[in-house]
Amino acid sequence: MVTHVSAEAQGDERGALLAFIEEQRGGIRRALLGLTEEQAVSKPSASELSLAGLLKHVAEVEQGWVARAKQEPPAIQRDETNWHETFQLVDGESVQLRLAYWKNGAAEHEADVRAVPSLDDTFPLPPDPWFPPEGRVSVRWLCLHLIREIARHAGHADIIRESLDGATAFELVAKEQGTSWG
């Protein structure tokens, strides 16, 4: 769903990619508008997903890709023993803390994309079977991958939010903008 198109998105490719990433982030943030912590961690559909879990997951995934592009280890290491924690809040975590973490990571990602000499610049990937077989991807690929990843989960968030209280994405956009829908 397009809520607005920034002037930047109408210009260069770099700005357009960043604008589309931000638009998808907004879908997840809006799904959390006006909810209690209890509602955010609830699982009201057939899925094991919660809005808080989706928020945590996309924030960690984006931060992990930013670190990978810089050839640094991710801030939060996940393996087969704790991978499930990426989809749930654990002790001491809250929606507000996760939103702040994501905001900081998003700002870092945007600064990195703006600073890279070319979107064609590449970085290596581990030889894991779920990564592209070429072993390297470009910054452009990274941006497109994040658009896909975040958009997929924004769609999940829409369903979860509507299951919680009937609020639809259009209603949440209007609520965020202080207007009415319908």
Angle between helices 51-69 and 139-165 (to 10 degrees): 170
Please give the chain's pLDDT, 182 residues, in tens: 444 445 454 569 999 999 999 999 999 999 999 999 999 999 998 889 999 999 999 999 999 999 999 999 888 877 777 777 788 999 899 999 999 999 999 999 999 999 999 999 999 988 888 888 888 999 999 999 999 999 999 999 999 999 999 988 888 988 888 888 76
The Cα 144–Cα 152 span in angstroms is 12
Backbone angles phi, psi at 67, to 5 degrees: -60, -45
117 in Cβ contact with 139 (< 8 Å): no
* Rounded (10°) CA dihedral 23, 152, 59, 90: 140
pLDDT score recorded for residue 7: 44
- Token look-up 């699982």 returns 43
122 three-state secondary structure: strand
